[in-house]
Amino acid sequence: MKEFRGRSVVPGQAQAPALVTTQALNLTASFSKPPNMIKRWNGVIQDRRHELYKKDVAGRVLVFPQCIGSTYTGMILLELIRRGRGPAAMVVQNADSLLASGALLAEVWLNQKVPLVEIPSPEIFTAIRTGQIVAVDGEKGLVRVM
């Protein structure tokens, strides 16, 4: 079992299969496209330029370097979580306040926890593979590959 210790950004605990990318993720471009909105925010990435195009983030531990793009990031994440289509947890190299705001607001307004842990090491992209079960402890900043 591989374990990483990082910085807790949003508390909570989750264990789920990983969805991993080494590309930064633009949540607005990925989830506010017509195919997602027409299908009632289904959680499937609709950014054709992203390597996770057509992958579903719902119930997954989303592992990615950072968010890019819009200031609307937090609200997109909040809406995915509200509709039950958000990730179970997130592990990022560089957590920003816009990404964290969506997970924090979900906890405050919806009583739903989506832990967010920041791990600066690029080793997370070689140690964690898509489909592996990952446990995220957002209280302690721990990420375990099962």
Residues annotated as catalytic (active site), given as ranges: 70
Tell me the backbone φ, ψ of residue 50, rounded to 5 degrees.
-95, 145
Sheet holding 13-20, edge to edge: 2-5, 142-145, 133-137, 13-20, 61-64, 89-92, 116-118, 7-10
> Nearest Cα to 57, choosing from 29, 34, 77?
77
Residue 9: partners with Cβ closer than 8 Å, 6 or more residues away: 95, 100, 103, 116, 117, 118, 138
Collapsed DSSP state (helix, strand, coil) of residue 117: strand
* Whole-number Å distance between alpha carbons of 123 and 82: 32
